[in-house]
């Protein structure tokens, strides 16, 4: 495949990507004891180092952030050391890698940490945990304003730890119905204080995290993933639209490395967003936009040539094809993704 896809792309004056493909963040539940990344994880990422940018699997910023088994962390010295092996191997192959910083909020479980899940409001998510069907979600504790300050500080510590571990930057996980996203939607944010009710208030937590991380590691090393159209863990509400209109306008005033859509399938349309999530963001956000969600090499090529997005994140095909970049470059067929592939790190 020819085209712009394989041209380099500058995120800013300090970071240039070798091509327009990013490996999407992909939770693999393969961390070792104490949520330390393993050598096998380092090799898995290194095999994909020819992506313009790798975004790591979501990585928990503190103990009560965990909602799935064996998800890696970035809050202990051993975890930082484990991640150093990952970044060294990726860099040795000429790659670039951001860490995705994660707190799952109300879809955490005390099974993992012994701690009650925290959330904007005491609103329980119905159902059972994926992969652990005998565990039901618990009633979360609504964070106090003092506790919100602590979570923001924990994002900052995690971002600094990521940089100490050799990452090229961090992507704040504000998407897919997790903690930050829970503040951004009416379904999960019932607060009456300065973090609820209005667009400005509901965006406050997200922007506080973004600004604190920017202050710690630099805007050129900070990215954000968002889900304007709720589709996982949260019910969409037409009023969410105003919140995201406001949030994106605020983000236009920060010089993030990029803004990333969080969704599984971007052919999904939302009436209150006037169509697809990617179109909604592109029409508002002025900086580098990374799209995702069912992209193929062909639709990635088309989207970039039509200026629908700047960078194409690829998820499941990157699980199925460690050599995705080579195959696309040489126009070789791709191996089709199958959920059974999640059982091992190839």
- The yes or no reply on residue 264 touching ligand 8K6 (CB under 6 A) is yes
CB of residue 202 vs ligand 8K6: minimum separation in angstroms? Answer: 21
Contact flag: residue 68 with ligand 8K6 (CB under 6 A): yes
**Number of residues forming the site for ligand 8K6 (CB under 6 A):** 8
DSSP string covering 212-253: HHHHHH-GGGEEEEE-SS--SSS---TTHHHHHHHHHHHHTT
Q: Which residues bind ligand FNR (CB under 6 A)?
A: 24-27, 57-58, 100, 173, 175-176, 225, 262-264, 292-295, 314-317, 342
H-only helix segments in the chain: 39-46, 77-92, 110-113, 145-164, 179-184, 199-217, 240-251, 277-284, 297-305, 316-320, 324-329
Query: Which residues in the 9-48 window bind ligand 8K6 by CB under 6 A?
Result: 27, 29
Residue nearest to ligand 8K6 (CB): 232
- Rounded to the nearest whole angstrom, what is the least distance from the CB of residue 193 to ligand 8K6 in the complex? 29
For 37, 131, 215, 315, 345, the CA distances from 340, given in Å and listed in that order, are 22, 13, 41, 15, 11
CA distances from 88 to 51, 82, 149, 165, 242 (A): 16, 10, 33, 9, 42
Closest CA to 129 of 181, 176, 68: 68
Residue located via tokens 């997790």 = 178
The two beta strands, 97-102 and 53-60, are parallel
- Rule CB under 6 A: say whether 127 interacts with ligand 8K6: no
CA distances, 185 to each of 9, 128, 135, 141, 212 (Å): 33, 21, 25, 17, 22
Based on the shown chain and the rule CB under 6 A, indicate whether residue 275 belongs to the binding site for ligand 8K6: no
- Of the candidates 132, 232, 320, 335, which one interacts with ligand 8K6 according to CB under 6 A? 232
> In terms of CB distance, is 176 or 203 closer to ligand 8K6?
176
Q: Which residues, 167 to 226, sit near ligand 8K6 by CB under 6 A?
A: 176
Report the residue number, 52 or 199, with the smaller CB distance to ligand FNR. Answer: 52
Q: Which is nearer to ligand 8K6, 114 or 340 (CB)?
A: 340
For the segment 81-120, give every residue that binds ligand 8K6 (CB under 6 A).
none
For ligand 8K6, the closer of residues 70 and 157 by Cβ is: 70
Q: Least distance (Å) from ligand 8K6 to the CB of residue 250?
A: 25
- What's the full length of the chain, in residues? 346
Shortest distance in whole angstroms from residue 108 CB to ligand 8K6: 13
45: buried, middle or exposed (CB in 10 Å: 19+, 13-18, 0-12)? buried
- Would you name the residues annotated as active-site residues? 178
Please, what is the minimum distance in Å from the beta carbon of residue 157 to ligand FNR? 20
**Spatial separation of the C-alpha atoms in residues 87 and 14, rounded to whole Å:** 18
| Residue 175's binding partner out of ligand FNR, ligand 8K6, none, with CB under 5 to 8 Å set by partner kind | ligand FNR
In the block, residue with structure tokens 């009710």: 197
Distances (CA, A) of 202 to 18, 20, 180, 247: 37, 32, 10, 9
SS3 content of the chain, % helix, strand, coil (to 5): 40, 20, 45
For residues 29 and 238, which CB has a smaller minimum distance to ligand 8K6 in the complex? 29
Closer Cβ to ligand FNR, 42 or 58, answer by number: 58
CB of 29 to ligand 8K6, least distance (A): 6
Q: Per CB under 6 A, which of residues 158..177 are in contact with ligand 8K6?
A: 176
Question: Which spans of this chain sit near ligand 8K6 (rule: CB under 6 A)?
Answer: 27, 29, 68, 130, 176, 232, 264, 342
């Amino acid at each position: 495949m020819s085209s712009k896809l394989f041209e380099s792309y500058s995120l800013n004056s300090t970071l240039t990507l070798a091509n327009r493909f990013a490996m999407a963040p992909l939770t693999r539940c393969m961390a070792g004891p104490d949520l330390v990344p393993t050598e096998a994880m380092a090799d898995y990422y290194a095999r994909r180092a020819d992506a313009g940018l790798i975004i790591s699997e979501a990585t928990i910023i503190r103990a009560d952030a965990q909602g799935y088994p064996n998800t890696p962390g970035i809050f202990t010295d051993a975890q930082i050391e484990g991640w150093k092996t990952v970044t060294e191997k990726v860099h040795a192959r000429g790659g670039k890698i951001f860490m995705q910083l994660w707190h799952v909020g109300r879809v955490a479980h005390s099974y993992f940490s012994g701690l009650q899940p925290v959330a904007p409001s005491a609103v329980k998510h119905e159902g059972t945990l994926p992969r652990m069907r005998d565990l039901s979600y618990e009633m979360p504790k609504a964070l106090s304003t003092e506790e919100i300050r602590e979570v923001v500080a924990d994002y900052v510590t995690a971002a600094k730890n990521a940089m100490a571990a050799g990452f090229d930057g961090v992507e704040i996980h504000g998407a897919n119905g997790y903690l930050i996203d829970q503040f951004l939607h009416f379904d999960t944010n019932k607060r009456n204080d300065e973090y609820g009710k209005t667009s400005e208030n509901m965006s406050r937590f997200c922007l506080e995290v973004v600004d604190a991380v920017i202050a710690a590691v630099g805007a050129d090393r900070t990215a954000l993933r968002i889900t304007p159209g709720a589709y996982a863990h949260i019910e969409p509400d037409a009023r969410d639209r105003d919140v995201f209109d406001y949030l994106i306008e605020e983000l236009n005033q920060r010089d993030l490395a990029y803004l990333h859509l969080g969704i599984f399938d971007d052919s999904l349309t939302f009436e209150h967003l006037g169509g697809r999530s990617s179109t909604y963001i592109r029409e508002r956000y002025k900086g580098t936009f990374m799209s995702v969600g069912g992209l193929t090499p062909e639709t990635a090529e088309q989207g970039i040539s039509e200026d629908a997005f700047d960078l194409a994140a690829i998820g499941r095909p990157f699980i199925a094809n460690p050599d995705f970049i080579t195959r696309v470059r040489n126009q070789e067929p791709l191996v089709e993704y199958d959920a059974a592939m999640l059982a091992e790190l190839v």
